[in-house]
Structure 1
Amino acid sequence: MRAKDALGRRGEDLAAGYLEALGMRVVDRNWRCPDGEIDIVALDGDALVIAEVKTRKSLAYGHPFEAVGPDKLARLHRLASAWCRDHELRMPLRRVDVIAVLDDGTGGPAIEHLKGVG
């Protein structure tokens, strides 16, 4: 596994644990369809949460949140609908969250969470 892929996997694992510690239930990870991939699908009460995880070693190339622009958000909303169709679920309450993980490998990772983005 490439170092970048390993860092991304570690970030997604940390983010999933973080969401579960908040009381959410992770129901799917790395779900793919022809239109793209959802990193984490979780339930927060009655709401379906599509979580996009961005992991970086440093802020040298900008904050991880900066990597999620309007096009990516629109795609995530479309993927949320596709996930619901694929699983035959009607979830009127849906949101997209973005989780930033900063992990330089020298200490505990820093996790930031934006709820209901876009």
Structure 2
Amino acid sequence: MSQSKELGKKGEELAVAFLEEKGYHIIARNWKYHKAEVDIIAEIDDLLVFVEVKTRSSTDFGKPHEFLKPPQIKRLTTAADAFCVQFNRKEEVRFDIVAIGIKKSVPEIEHIERAFYWF
């Protein structure tokens, strides 16, 4: 496995633990729809939350969440819509980002709720 894939996998594991600690119930991980993949789908209260995890070993070129661009947001919202239709989900939907910076093996986690909206 490449170093960046390993970093991404570690970031997702940290994000899941972080969200579960905050009371989220994880219902799916790495859910795929066509060319899109939703890292984490979770429930909390009456919300269905689609979470994009961004992990970086350095913030020299920007914060992790700054690497999420409009085409990827469009794919994620399309995948979220497909998930809701496929599983007949009617709750309110929210899109979050969990940005993780791992410097010297110490993770810094930032949870950005309502990071973006449907297109």
Common fold, TM-score beyond 0.5?
yes
Structure 1 distance, partners of 2:35, 2:3, is: 26
After superposition, residues 16-35 of structure 1 pair within 5 angstroms as 16-35=16-35
1:79 Cα shift?
A: 1.4
1:84 Cα shift?
A: 1.4
Q: Which runs of 5+ in 1 are unaligned?
A: none
1:103 equivalent in structure 2: 102
SS at match of 2:106: coil
CA RMSD of aligned residues (A): 1.3
1:71 Cα shift?
A: 3.0
2:39 equivalent in structure 1: 39
SS at match of 1:60: coil
Structure 2 distance, partners of 1:7, 1:108, is: 13
Structure 2 distance, partners of 1:16, 1:84, is: 21
1:41 Cα shift?
A: 0.2
Query: What TM-score, normalized to structure 2?
Result: 0.90
Map Cα deviations across residues 45-86 of structure 1 (whole Å, 9 max, x no partner). 110000000000011221111111333223222211111122
SS at match of 1:90: coil
Larger strand proportion of the pair: 2
Structure 2 distance, partners of 1:68, 1:62, is: 11
SS at match of 1:115: strand
Query: What TM-score, normalized to structure 1?
Result: 0.91
1:43 Cα shift?
A: 0.3
2:11 equivalent in structure 1: 11
Q: Structure 1 stretches (4+) deviating beyond 4 angstroms? A: none
SS at match of 1:73: helix
